[in-house]
Structure 1
Amino acid sequence: MTQEPAPQRMRAEVAASWERSAAAGVEVEQGSAPLTVDLSALHGHREAHPLARVLPLLDDVLGREVRDCGAVMALADAEGTLLWVSGTTDRLRHAERIGFVEGSNWDERLAGTNAPGLALATGRDAFITREEHFRESVRTWSCAATPIHDPGTSQLLGVLDVTGGDQLVVPQTMAMVRAAARLAEAELARHLPPPVHERPSGLRLLLELLGHNEALLTIDDGRGRLNRLRLSRRHSEIVALLASSPAGLTGDELAVLLYEEDGGTSTLRAELNRLRGLLGEELLASRPYRLTAPIAGDWLAVEAQLAAGDLRAAMKGYGGPVLPRSSAPGVVRLREGLAASLRQALLRSGAPELMSAWTRSGWGRDDYDMWVAQRAAVPAGAPMRALVEGQIARLDRELA
């Protein structure tokens, strides 16, 4: 790959994005972003997406201003696919030249450094000016983007973006895009179901492990009050193991699953005492050790969706490996078991868009077998074919 020198005084977050783009095999000379959602499937995908509800609001508060200044507004999903692109006919025609069209994917690992892709990668506001773009074809444009989250679950729904010329390179642009996104979230919040006042008493737990090095634990008291905790690395491992063993574990069993070597029993007792102090006596029982409240977990949902044959939902819910930095034997087994089940289902699926979600991820980027399966599933003339073959060639070189 021929790569031009990066712009002088490049911002650190932009330099990191360039590195990710290059590592993913994006070419500086690549003309356009790939189409990852076929136009025949795009209509249904948009209708089912939560952001469809706020599109009219965004067009009213931002779209008209954007068109007046000769720019385009885009709304992408959490995978980076542009669901809606609006602007004047002339500007949309110009945007088509770089593949900035509905159904194209602007994840930075497919399209190189750009504002929507950077916002997805970092979860923060992103502003990319002309020469900060990784691909040459995009360097006449500047763009500003910000994430939009589900106000009920905090889940990332997508990204709001404004793309145009030099007139966008002012502080007011980012403020305008951010304000529109917050209005959209407020509108989504208006449609949340009202709180239920008569609910069964009793505590419930929601445990989030996927893609998190430290677990997120939400304690619901059954009356609408939530306590959200970020657990330490060791407490994350303990809670994950107990949540996966509803009948409970003895101290010896837990120690075997938790420590790579013998001798952690006294340390484990101290950790359990600290965890009980954090959760409360009523949530962590002993003899055997067990969690006493009903548990819902993101990895459990993925397991259930796989068992039901709903691979699309399983992929959407899979935010990454279970506690990826943990070396606890029981957690490693849990992590590898779920990843292997999901991976095998993908390999058997023949669905290139689902395989693409895997190979675009940090954990699946170097999965040679998945790239080969994806190549077999992508038609010879499809825009994605060249990207897939390029990645297979990269791995052939590296693995040789």
Structure 2
Amino acid sequence: MTQVQPQLNRWLSVPPGADIARFASDAASAWESFLDKGITPASVRSVVGESWIRSKTRGVSPDAVEQTDLLPAADLEAYRSAHPMSLIRPVIRELLVADAVGSELLVAMSDEAGRLLWVDGDQRARDRAVSMSFVEGADWSEERVGTNAPGTALAVDHPIQIFGTEHFSRPVHEWNCSAAPVHDPLTGRIIGAIDITGGPRVAVPEMLQLVKATVRAAENELRLYLMRSPQPVTAAVPRLQTLGLTRPVLHDDSSSRKLSQRHAEILLLLAQHPEGLSSARLAVLLDESDLDDVTVRAEMSRLRKVIGAHVLGSRPYRLLSEVRTDVADVMAALQRGDIKVAIRSYTGPVLPESDAPGVVDLREDLHSRMQAALLRSGDPAMLNFWTSSVHGRDDLTSLEAYLHSLRPEDPMRSQVKARIMRLDRELRM
């Protein structure tokens, strides 16, 4: 029991038997301290502290929940009707929504990226939640609004409670929430999350158990559906490969197809901007001389024919379903401090022949992040790997760091010195 309890408390907001008023006060002080000093107090649960750090690193505002890219009603209806979470909505309504009406509780269902598909429950609570944009069609991923139960549950792939001031954003501090991810029974992939949001009633262990039990029932319903139609409810996520390639490739299910550079540029930019891009902004990111709207619309029309109309939304242009990129994979490895994975995944510059301003900025940013992470690590093996690669062999700064990382008696020192001198001469010419 003593070994299980600390792990349990990691996911529960208020530890069993704790004084809620005291816990709330301590959480508020810890949040203020984190924002002021950037240090996570020891009293903060590790899962929350790690989420705060991710939220701050991503530039999430602690003072506002900004939602400028709500899906239009028609797009939202089409998207959620086709989403696998729609298959389990009757179960959720029966087990949770019916009892939430009149209880000041909200029941939300999101997709795998944190987009709220449905928000049901008490009407007064729904009206109050509008002020923090907790509404259907809003993006409640951790990347967008910071620490919150549905977004963080998706980020860590585990049921979790978030209490009041454990939320990263101040407008959410008066709410408590319990959420859990939902998985495809065949593939194990996350397809969305189920969340209960409300007042003090939500900050108890029983509420998290209720959410977990509901998810189990929902996944069993999906399993029965698959017995009748034995196909995964989720397809493989398309993956765009751009690093070091003059002809980018889109991998989808068991097939791979080469894309034009322009189509890869558009997909990459939209993947980097999940909030969406206006036609004018996308044009600027694609061409310094500013493409006109007609040209952008024509390119988007051609791209829809290549990857499917269900993937691309408009007003603003955005991805309606997930598209992974090798750039995002490297960024994610760097963010979690896994330099070895990052350096082996970084197979070259981003779309090396592209001169689209948005891609050029991304290319330079990723290269700089790679270099900075390597210099911080000071690992001789990784510095050797980097400076021996095509894209790192002319990196004088990393070569000098590699030299300093070697022991005085290491025979490699003379070779590295020679390379530094040669590269220095070439740069001076």
Whether the 8 Å contact between 2:179 and 2:194 is mirrored in structure 1 is yes
Aligned amino acid, residue 20 of structure 1? R
1:156 Cα offset (Å): 1.1
Q: Structure 1, residues 266-286: CA drift from partner, whole Å, max 9, x if none?
A: xxxxxxxxxxxxxxxxxxxxx
**Could you tell me which residue of structure 2 aligns to residue 309 of structure 1?**
306
Q: Which residue of 1 aligns with 2:269?
A: none
* Equivalent AA in structure 1 for residue 193 of structure 2: V
Q: Sequence identity of aligned pairs in percent?
A: 28
Aligned to 2:143: 109
Q: How does 1:348-363 map to 2 (within 5 A)?
A: none
- 1:116-155: CA deviation from partner (whole Å, max 9, x where unpaired): 1101111111110011011111100000110001112212
Q: Name the structure 1 match of 2:166.
A: 132
Amino acid at match of 1:101: V
The answer to whether 1:4 aligns with 2:38 is no
Q: What amino acid is aligned across from residue 306 of structure 2 in structure 1?
A: G
Q: Does 1:58 align with 2:92?
A: yes
SS of corresponding position for 1:158: strand
User: 1:73–1:161: 8 Å Cα contact kept in structure 2?
Assistant: yes
Distance 1:101 1:73 in 2: 11
After superposition, the Cα gap between the structure-2 partners of 1:41 and 1:195, relative to the gap in structure 1 and judged at 3 Å, is: closer
Contact 1:34 1:110 in 2 (8 A): no
Query: Is the Cα contact below 8 Å between 2:238 and 2:324 reproduced in 1?
Result: no
Query: Where does structure 1 lack aligned partners over 5 or more consecutive residues?
Result: 197-206, 212-296, 349-357, 367-400
Residues 25 and 195 (structure 1), Cα distance of their counterparts in 2 relative to 1, 3 Å cut: closer
Contact (CA 8 Å) 2:67, 2:138: kept in 1 or not?
Answer: yes
Matched, 1:183 2:217: yes
Matches of residues 140-155 of structure 1 in structure 2 within 5 Å?
140-155=174-189
- Deviation, 1:167, is 1.1
Provide the C-alpha distance between the structure 2 equivalents of 1:303 and 1:119, rounded to a whole number of angstroms. 34
Task: Report the equivalent of 1:318.
Answer: 324
Structure 1 segment 276-315 matched on structure 2, within 5 A: 301=255, 303=257, 309-310=306-307, 312=311
Q: Deviations over 1:196-235 (max 9, x none)?
A: 9xxxxxxxxxx99979xxxxxxxxxxxxxxxxxxxxxxxx
Query: Is the CA contact (8 Å cut-off) linking 2:107 and 2:197 kept in structure 1?
Result: yes
Q: Distance in 1 between matches of 2:222 and 2:355?
A: 36
Q: Secondary structure at the match of 1:80?
A: coil
- 2: CA distance, partners of 1:31 / 1:332: 34
> Is the CA contact 1:147–1:156 (under 8 Å) kept in the aligned structure 2?
yes
Query: Match of 2:91, as an amino acid?
Result: L
Q: CA RMSD in A?
A: 4.1
Counterpart in the other structure of 1:17: 51
Question: Is the CA contact (8 Å cut-off) linking 1:37 and 1:81 kept in structure 2?
Answer: no
CA contact (8 A) 2:101 2:123 kept: no
How many Å apart are 1:182 and its aligned residue?
1.2
Provide runs of 4+ in structure 1 moved above 6 Å: 207-211, 304-308
* Distance in 1 separating the partners of 2:122 and 2:132: 16
**1:84–1:102 Cα contact (<8 Å) kept:** yes
Change in Cα spacing, 1:160 to 1:45, as seen in structure 2 (3 Å) is same
Distance 1:82 1:44 in 2: 14
- Say if 1:208 and 1:48 are closer, same or farther in 2 by CA, change over 3 A: closer
1:119 corresponds to which residue?
Answer: 153
Q: Distance in 2 between matches of 1:182 and 1:125?
A: 12
**Does the Cα contact within 8 Å between 1:18 and 1:134 map onto a contact in 2?**
yes
Q: Is the 8 A contact 2:238 2:323 kept in 1?
A: no
Which residue number in structure 1 is paired with residue 208 of structure 2? 174
Residue 116 of structure 1 aligns with an amino acid whose one-letter code is P
Q: Is the 8 A contact 1:298 1:317 kept in 2?
A: no
Residue identity in the other structure for 2:219: E
The question of 1:79 aligning with 2:113 is answered yes
